[in-house]
């Protein structure tokens, strides 16, 4: 009995500490969210991928070759760089007369790492605005998207941002290296071309909603729950109230309507797709997705970038928000909780992802 008493006391202390930590994290998340709503300052980071791969290649060659050969090559490269700089300076004077066929084309690479709320949309909209202000005839955009989907309105806005690229007449390629399901595929289908790795997961063109109901538990403990609404269908299903068959039917009707909008959006962007065949909520791997018409080619984003490095200038564009330490800590805690929730949600979707 003494052991049980000590163990119970220890357990109570542990629960108290955990509860205090959760309250602190929730407070930091709230602070971070408020600051994020007020401060939208940030900056664009642009990295030329050509130079990155050239530097890595030089490092490998320097380690493999004889020191004398490396020294000789460095001298030759410096001499060639001077000649190229002079030629570039002379070419800049004739830029006004230079056609799109004569200049090097540019590929702008963007990344979208999706969560349940599609919160990366804020960065994506800034990146697209900057890129569209700099694109010229012949330039293209590559979006590397990774997302298992999430909230309808969040991914709807993300897809609308991508539509801006198409409407501006700039070719858009979407590459999926791991997963673009549900809302992730809603974004991917906006691209003129969709590439996917052989084992990338695509599809899941469906709508899901699930919530627990604690009404019977509250009733068992004689706890009343009051919910006041104005409007017949202001609230169909609740977490704490008693749900009715009429409410369930209305909720299911809303899911079907959302699914119909999803199917229509995909059909508009990929008219050759047999939408009723693929809009069953199923997912397919890259090679299977090609057979179903969900993608245009089985290829990784790295392959496409490598193909363009020789003749194109490839730029990686990223918008970075300026954050205080409170916001960074709050976002880190929020991200951890979101990832935990997403992991639990994905585990419920079966063995695919």
Can you tell me the distance from the alpha carbon of 312 to that of 106, in angstroms, rounded to the nearest whole number? 5
CB 275 within 8 A of CB 193: no
List the structure tokens of 24: 């602190």
**Known catalytic residue: 219?**
no
Active-site residue, selected from the candidate residues 78, 89, 94, 234: 234
Q: How far is CA 114 from CA 151, 152, 220, 225, 282, in A?
A: 11, 13, 41, 36, 20
Residue 80, CB-side half-sphere exposure with 13 Å CA sphere: 6
Q: How many CB atoms lie within 10 A of CB 79?
A: 10
The token pair that represents 122 in the structure block: 């804020």
The helix or strand, by DSSP H or E, that contains position 312, with its residue range, turns out to be strand 312-321
Q: What is the maximal distance between C-alpha atoms in the chain?
A: 92
Catalytic residue among 147, 182, 204, 301: 182
- What tokens does 229 get? 């609404």
* Annotation marks residue 75 as catalytic: no
> Among all residues, which ones are annotated catalytic?
182, 234
């Amino acid at each position: 009995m003494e052991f049980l008493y000590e163990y119970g006391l220890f357990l109570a202390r542990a629960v108290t500490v955990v509860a205090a930590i959760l309250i602190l994290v929730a407070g930091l998340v709230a602070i971070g969210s408020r600051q994020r709503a007020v401060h939208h300052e940030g900056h664009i980071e642009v990295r030329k991928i050509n130079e990155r791969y050239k530097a890595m290649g030089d490092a490998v060659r320097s380690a493999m070759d004889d020191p004398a050969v490396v020294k000789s090559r460095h001298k030759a490269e410096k001499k060639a760089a001077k000649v190229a700089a002079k030629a570039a300076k002379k070419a800049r004077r004739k830029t006004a007369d230079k056609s799109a066929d004569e200049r090097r084309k540019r590929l702008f690479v963007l990344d979208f790492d999706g969560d349940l709320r599609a919160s990366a949309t804020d960065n994506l909209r800034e990146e697209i605005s900057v890129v569209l202000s700099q694109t010229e005839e012949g330039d293209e955009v590559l979006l590397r998207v990774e997302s298992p989907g999430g909230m309808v309105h969040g991914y709807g806005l993300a897809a609308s941002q991508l539509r801006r690229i198409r409407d501006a007449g700039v070719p858009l390629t979407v590459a999926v290296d791991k997963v673009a399901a549900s809302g992730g595929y809603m974004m991917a289908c906006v691209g003129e071309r969709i590439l996917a790795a052989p084992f990338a997961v695509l599809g899941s063109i469906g709508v899901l909603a699930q919530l627990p109901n604690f009404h019977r538990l509250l009733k068992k403990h004689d706890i009343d729950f009051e919910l006041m609404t104005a409007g017949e269908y202001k609230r169909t299903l609740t977490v704490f109230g008693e749900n009715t068959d009429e409410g369930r039917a209305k909720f299911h009707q809303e899911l079907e309507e959302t699914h119909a909008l999803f199917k229509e959006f995909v059909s508009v962007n990929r008219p050759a797709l047999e939408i009723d065949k693929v809009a069953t909520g199923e997912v397919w791997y890259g090679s299977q997705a090609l057979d179903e018409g969900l993608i245009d080619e089985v290829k990784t984003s790295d392959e496409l970038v490598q193909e363009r490095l020789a003749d194109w200038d490839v730029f990686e564009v990223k918008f970075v928000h300026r954050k205080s330490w409170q916001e960074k800590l709050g976002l880190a805690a929020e991200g951890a909780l979101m990832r935990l929730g997403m992991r639990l949600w994905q585990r419920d979707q079966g063995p695919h992802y």
